[in-house]
Amino acid sequence: MKPSIFGYEAPTTLEAAISLLAGDPDAMVLAGGQTLLPAMNFRAANPSLLVDIQHIQGLRGIAVGSDAIIVKAMVRHREFELDEEVKRANPLIAEVMQHVAHIPIRNRGTVVGSLCHADPSAEMPLLLALLGGSVVAQGPSGSREIAAEKFFQSFLTTARNHDEIVVEARFPLLPAGAGWAFDEVTRRHGDYAVVGVGCVLALHRSGRATGVRIAACGIADRPIRLKDAETILNGTTLGPLDLDAAVAASLVAVTQPDDTNVSQSYRRRALGTLIRRMVARAAQRAETVA
Amino acid sequence: MSTRMFGARIERNVDPKLLRGEGAFVDDIPLPDALHVAFLRSPHARARINSIDTAAAKASSGVVAIYTCDDIGALDVEMPLLIPHPSMTNPQTQRPLARGDVHYVGQTIAMVVAVDRYIAEDAAALIEVDYAPLPVEMDIVKALDDGAPRVHAAIPNNLAAHFVQTSGDPDGAFAAAEHVTKITVQVDRSTAAPMECRAVAARWEAVTGELTVWDGTQAPISVRGGLASVFGLDEDKVRVIAPDVGGGFGQKVLLFYPDELLVPMAAMQLGRPVKYIEDRRENFIGSSQERTQIHTIELAALKSGEVIGLRDFFLHDTGAFIPYGIAVAQVASTSIAGPYRIPNIFVEFKAVYTPTVQVTPYRGCGRPQACFALERAMDQLAQELGLDRFEIRRRNLVADNQFPYAREGLLFADGLKVTLDSGQYGKALAMAATELGAENFAVAQAKALSDGRYLGLGLACYVEGTGLGPYEGGHVKIHPITGKVYVNTGLSTQGQGHDTVFAQIVADQLGVSPQDVIVVEGDTKAFDWGVATFASRAAVVSGNAIHKTAATVRKKVLQAAANMLDADIDSIELRDSAAWIKGSNRFVPLAAIATASNPLRYAFNKAAQAATQFAPASKHDGPPLAEGEAPGLEATDYYSPSQSTWAYGVHGAIVEVDPGLCTVKIKKYVCIHDCGNMINPMLVEGQVMGGIAQGIGGALYEHLDYQSDGNLANASLMDFLVPYATEIPNVSILHLETPSPLNALGVKGVGEAGCIAVGAVIASGVEDALRPFGALRFHQVPLSPTMIADVLERAGH
Amino acid sequence: MTRMIKPAIADRSADAQVEVALTVNGEAVRRSVSVRLLLSDFLRHELGLTGTHVGCEHGVCGCCTVLIDGKPGRSCLTLAAQANGYSIRTIESVAAADGTLHPVQQAFKECHGLQCGYCTPGMVMNILGRFEEKEPLDLSDDGIRELLSGNLCRCTGYLNIIAAVRRAAELLGKTPA
Ligand SMILES: Cc1cc2nc3c(=O)[nH]c(=O)nc-3n(C[C@H](O)[C@H](O)[C@H](O)COP(=O)(O)OP(=O)(O)OC[C@H]3O[C@@H](n4cnc5c(N)ncnc54)[C@H](O)[C@@H]3O)c2cc1C
Ligand code: FES
Ligand code: FES
């Protein structure tokens, strides 16, 4: 299991990196390599050129702004997980991060690399979709912001053009007082999610839910916002019948076929269970707001 | 008196070097100028090969040689059938490189030798093969149908072997039964997945005519014999070394894997060392696997719960070839009555060819399957008769005073009648019940249920025939310069800690510290009589051989010391690396005795000078070495067991099932285990615990997912789910020590014990936990979330 | 066998080379290597540091774990070319120069935390890296399981490794969170 031959460049400027990509249709960006290198070792990916972006200036660091957390391209999962400001600004993130692989993988793999890879079972794309975040892609003709909903298109496919580099991702903060929850089912701890569900909601003084957001990974060809369930639950007291209805409305979203680990019908069952549990957990954590 | 080492929890001699990263695994052996091998392997489960074109691959830079079946001369023959048996008709074994047909995905078709593995893989991808794919049948039931696609054109119905064994009068028992229970159970395909994949390196010294092969094998002596005969070399000119080996679990004992022949061949032809380091993907598709069996088992019982008869019919998947004969199925069939008296047994199996890599023993070797069938049936019988699961077992266990308990008519893998030699089966069961808190479990279970939590108790008993013959040997020698003791045996180690347990045995005999006993194994230059490491046999067979040998050396030491100290032999004791006159401070160091026993002329070190202060070691007239006397303190001896020793145990668990996610959490796991006298309990526990973890893998996670076209969907550690630490619960291991009456040390084997019962325990526990949903059945392992969900959904939940 | 003329054989691939300069176990190393050489192969076969093992080459087993700039990482999922400028620590640097075991190694020995020893260097490096992180340690059974997750061991069943982590923390005077 050794990679086939490729060229290797480690530019120090974004412009140089973009022009290398633009000049070779089979070139690929190399960030942490935790997805790309296993694929290359299996010879499932055979890029002609690797553009290693680790030495590019300006691609490091996390900035917590007033409405979003900005994560630069070379920020590793583990940095994102342990950052104290991030923990304070959006506690959902730490709850999600501990489910991503294992510490040695999180030490190397990048948050943005995970978004770009767009594995439908991965946690980072779900997080971005759940929070309604976006990425900023820079190409030969400048940079553009792409909303999560547009970015994740299908299995391992994003709206990124071949000659674009995603320079940062923007994860919105939680609304004041919002409750949050994420959990997933895996076969082994640290594996990609079989099904994962995240939920954010606020509770009105009346006990009714507002601003409900629910998203799932592992059920389709990309992370899915379960908007029908959100609509059903908004304005309710999240009673058992409300949850039944929300679950029933969500099951059609499960399109991932049977695979070596689980069947499609199992994914439906797990999705239903996790929606119920995550909504309840988020509600428990929500502070009542006016 | 020095403390006894046998039975002590001492740390291992081998650890420091392994911990410092100084182990010497095959790929660590520095072989300057080595060339590297990659194989082209079949992407089809069944196909005719119309043509192979290696031109492009040969022409690419860095490629040294490419071999197909046409290029390997006399090696182009079927490899040996290791264990013939009359139940097989026309047994099929593999050729090193496919000729004409391929029979499984992963079968070797061509070997590339190149300057490095990267280039070798590039070249393998450039070889063009024109295949005509053939239909396959992956289901072992359907594979037996008339007209099913054949794995081998000459073998109708894919039937590899058919065998029936009978003990007592099963028909009579079933006629007399008051109750009969019947179930069908299945265990799925799995693999050993040692952390180090297989590896072979070879160096040919044309000048001396010596072939040295480093092979991560469990059977270096056999490989040596095989290579010498294949290449027409004197055995003494072939040295096979199994250096440090990163786990084996059965997978690393096969004669031969294609690479074990082809790598030495290439080294001889190319005049350069050649290395083949199997990668993980190849380990999944090219190295032996095991486990798939479907049993239909019936128990004939009395209302009291006494089981008076057993009938079992099972299908055994043997893969595309059957080099090991029926070993796995035979062990399963002879373990089928477990620790129970069950006096009347009928057991029949059919071994079926499937277009998959060959099946050979993997830790457990048929026992987990037999245990699963029997124990699931016992649970069902208990339920049908309204008996407690512990109680029904209690009523059937062989009693302490019934040993030896023979099963007339059942021949074990050693060709001898199954005879359970000793044990305290009832006590083990009682200990398990206590440790699990079985008595109060129903209360805890009901309480948990009222909180919406589903707890279940699972239970299973097993026996394990261990310590198979034919024999092993030992060589013990006290070094005259250092006084250290050198021990050789013909085994090889894959992490079991042989070096330490053998050192403990010798230390007690010779009064030295185990750290001063240096055990060398796995090198045919050091010792070349013996069989191999498998079937939980090392401690029993080599252990007893070494024990006998050390006792002989002890006698020599005592005699020489008595002579040197001018004392009566009965007054000598050995301790602290010296011989002492009991109750005095007069002693002579072992090194001095060894030196004095070797009549040399030069007193070149301290031991030799010390030796001169004493009387001669040998009292005789005439030349320094008397007629029939050998120099030094040294002996070689062998041990050949009269039959297998039978270890046994009881496992139990408390599990919690989450019906929403269909996950299983093991809350508590208990293992009561008896392998006779324990040489080093710490290492015994290590073996048992490792086995339990593999058993948990087999119970819940590890399943080779063959597609209907014969491709393996999960040929990676990403998708073949070997458990991490996060999947393995705390386990309490409690011991019983019933000495085996069959050997001087009173030991039984332990290598495979841990994994046998786990599948049955977990299925039993899950069934118990989900009882509130009805009498659901779990008759297949590994038990995946999807299987649990399907059962619940079928029951309307 | 009759003696044959030794065939002339190339001894190096024609792959494009890159120059890498990095620190390994405190020593500056500069080599020219194939662009596609994995860091694991570089350490093992170019530098002769064979204590770093390879069990899967797809990131799952953890046998190849080394410290990359102080943090545990997979050497099989890193190119030697990428490691230009990195500081790498391997198992060979852990014991004292005279061979005295480091407390983590000592703890493995005392607790029988290894059998075949193939997974062991990766385990030790992972634990060492985690111990050297400033994050508080959770030394409960489950906390240690989490720390060890990411390293497969096929021999021990892990419990003795869990005990070894706790023992090592004790030897190093690490206090639980
Ligand atoms: C054993 C193991 C377990 C894992 N478990 C999980 C898990 O549970 N959950 C999970 O989410 N992930 C898991 N991963 C994957 C891990 O999270 C990866 O780190 C992540 O998916 C990719 O990040 P990377 O920086 O390593 O990307 P790389 O491997 O370097 O790149 C991944 C892809 O994204 C592209 N890319 C990367 N960065 C950019 C960029 N800035 N602009 C444009 N394209 C870019 C690359 O070209 C490539 O196609 C696991 C990996 C391993 C080896
Ligand atoms: S070899 Fe690197 S993780 Fe397995
Ligand atoms: S000790 Fe053998 S794999 Fe861990």
- Of the pLDDT bands very low, low, confident and very high (cuts 50, 70, 90), residue A184 is very high
What number does CATH give the domain A62-172? Answer: 3.30.465.10
Mean pLDDT to the nearest integer, B105-120: 98
Class for the domain spanning A179-289: alpha beta
Look at A1 and B279 and tell me if their CB atoms are within 8 Å: yes
What φ, ψ does residue B690 adopt, rounded to 5°? -60, -40
Q: How confident is the model at residue A287 (pLDDT cuts 50, 70, 90)?
A: confident
User: Could you tell me which of B575, B574, B546, B552 has the C-alpha nearest to residue B562?
Assistant: B574
Distance CA B349, CA B367 (A): 14
Q: What is the pLDDT of residue B318?
A: 97
* Chain centroid, CA B653 distance in Å: 25
Q: Is C35 on the interface with B (CB under 8 A)?
A: no
CA dihedral (B117, B119, B123, B126) positive or negative = positive
Ligand 3, atom nearest to C63 Cα: 3
The residues, ordered by sequence, that sit 6+ positions from B347 with a Cβ below 8 Å of its Cβ are B164, B165, B166, B310, B311, B312, B313, B314, B333, B334, B336, B410
Cα separation, B724 vs C59, in Å, equals 13
Query: Which chain C residues are within 8 Å of A189, Cβ to Cβ?
Result: 145-146, 149
Q: Give the closest-approach CA distance of B796 to chain C in angstroms.
A: 35
**C98 contact B CB<8A:** no
Residue B709 banded pLDDT, cuts 50, 70, 90: very high
User: Is the ipTM here above 0.95?
Assistant: yes
**pLDDT surpassing 60 at residue C1:** no
Average pLDDT over residues C127-155: 95
List, chain by chain if needed, residues with CB within 6 Å of any ligand 1 atom.
A 28-36, 38, 53, 73, 100-101, 105, 109-110, 112-114, 116-117, 122-124, 160, 165-166, 190-192; C 59-60
Domain spanning B293-468+642-794: CATH 3.30.930.10: no
- The residue contributing the CA closest to ligand 1 atom 38 is A113
Cα distances (angstroms) measured from residue B299 to each of B171, B371, B756, B782: 12, 14, 21, 24
pLDDT at B582: 95
A3 touches B at CB < 8 Å: yes
> A42, A103, A106, A191: best mutation site toward chain C, by most C Cβ within 10 Å?
A103
- Cα B724 to ligand 2 centroid, rounded to whole Å: 14
Please report the pLDDT score of residue A290 as a whole number.
60
Q: Is the pLDDT of residue C19 over 50?
A: yes
- The pLDDT confidence band at residue C3, using thresholds 50, 70 and 90, is low
Give the nearest partner residue to C155 out of B25, B247, B272, using CB atoms.
B247
The predicted structure's pLDDT at residue B609:
72
- The vertex-A58 CA angle with A55 and A63, nearest 5°, equals 130
The fold adopted by the segment(s) B31-134+196-246+252-286 is Aldehyde Oxidoreductase; domain 3 (3.90.1170)
Q: Contacts of residue C36 in chain A, CB cutoff 8 Å?
A: 2-6, 8
Against chain A, the chains showing at least 3 CB pairs within 8 Å are B, C
Question: How many angstroms separate the alpha carbon of residue A34 from the centre of ligand 1?
Answer: 5
The bridge status of strand B344-353 relative to strand B307-319 is: parallel
Average pLDDT, chain B: 94
Which residues from chain A sit within 8 angstroms of residue C149, using beta carbons?
102, 189-190
Q: Say whether pLDDT at B2 is over 60.
A: no
* Domain boundaries of chain A, sorted by first residue: 7-52, 62-172, 179-289
Cα separation, B10 vs B209, in Å, equals: 43
Helix (H) or strand (E) holding B176: helix B170-176
Question: Ligand 3 mean position to B194 CA, how many Å?
Answer: 8
Residue B195 Cα, ligand 3 centroid: separation in angstroms?
A: 7
Q: Which CATH number fits domain A7-52: 3.30.43.10, 3.20.20.210, 3.40.50.1820, 3.40.1190.20?
A: 3.30.43.10
- Encode pLDDT of B472-521 as tens digits: 899 999 998 888 999 988 888 887 888 899 999 999 999 999 999 999 88
Q: Mean pLDDT throughout A155-171?
A: 98
Q: What are phi and psi of B420, to 5 degrees?
A: -70, 120
Contact C36 A3 (CB under 8 A): yes
Provide mean pLDDT across the span B584-591: 93
Supply φ then ψ for residue B67, to 5 degrees: -115, 135
Percentage of chain A modeled with pLDDT above 90: 98
- Averaged pLDDT, B230-248: 94
Find the residue in C nearest to A99 (Cα): C146
* pLDDT the model gives residue A262: 96
Angle (CA) B46-B331-B312 rounded to 5° is: 85
Here the tokens at position B268 are 């001889």
| pLDDT tens per residue across span B180-212 | 999 999 999 999 999 999 999 999 999 999 999
Fold annotation for C17-93: Ubiquitin-like (UB roll) (3.10.20)
C61 lines ligand 2 (CB under 6 A): yes
Nearest Cα neighbor of A31 from A101, A97, A105, A109 is A109
Among A207, A168, A189, A193, which residue's Cα sits nearest to residue A61? A168
pLDDT of B534 over the 80 cut = no
B621 pLDDT exceeds 90? no
Average pLDDT over residues B570-576: 95
CATH topology of domain C103-171: DNA polymerase; domain 1 (1.10.150)
Whether residue B690 and residue C156 make contact (CB cut-off 8 A), yes or no, is yes
pTM comes to: 0.96
Look at residue A270 in the predicted model and tell me its pLDDT.
98
How do residues B308-355 score in pLDDT, each as one tens digit? 999 999 999 999 999 999 999 999 999 999 999 999 999 999 999 999
For residue B32, give how far its alpha carbon lies from the nearest alpha carbon of chain C (Å).
10
Hey, what are C85's tokens? Answer: 């400028």
Q: Which residues of A touch B701 (CB under 8 A)?
A: 187-188
pLDDT of A80 over the 80 cut: yes
Residue A98: closest C-alpha in chain C: C146
Q: How far apart are CA A180 and CA A127, in angstroms?
A: 11
What's the fold here for domain B469-639? Aldehyde Oxidoreductase; domain 4 (3.30.365)
- Per CB-CB distance under 8 Å, the chain C contacts of A2 are 36, 38, 41, 57
CA A190, A191, A192, A194 torsion: positive or negative?
Answer: negative
pLDDT of residue B604: 66
CB contact (8 A) between residue B717 and residue C54: no
Looking from the CA of residue A166, the nearest atom of ligand 1 is 42
B121/A262 CB distance under 8 A: no
Domain with CATH 3.10.20.30 in chain C: 17-93
User: Using 50, 70 and 90 to split pLDDT, how confident is the model at B1?
Assistant: very low
Extract the tokens encoding C56.
């899967």
Say whether pLDDT at C13 is over 90. Answer: no
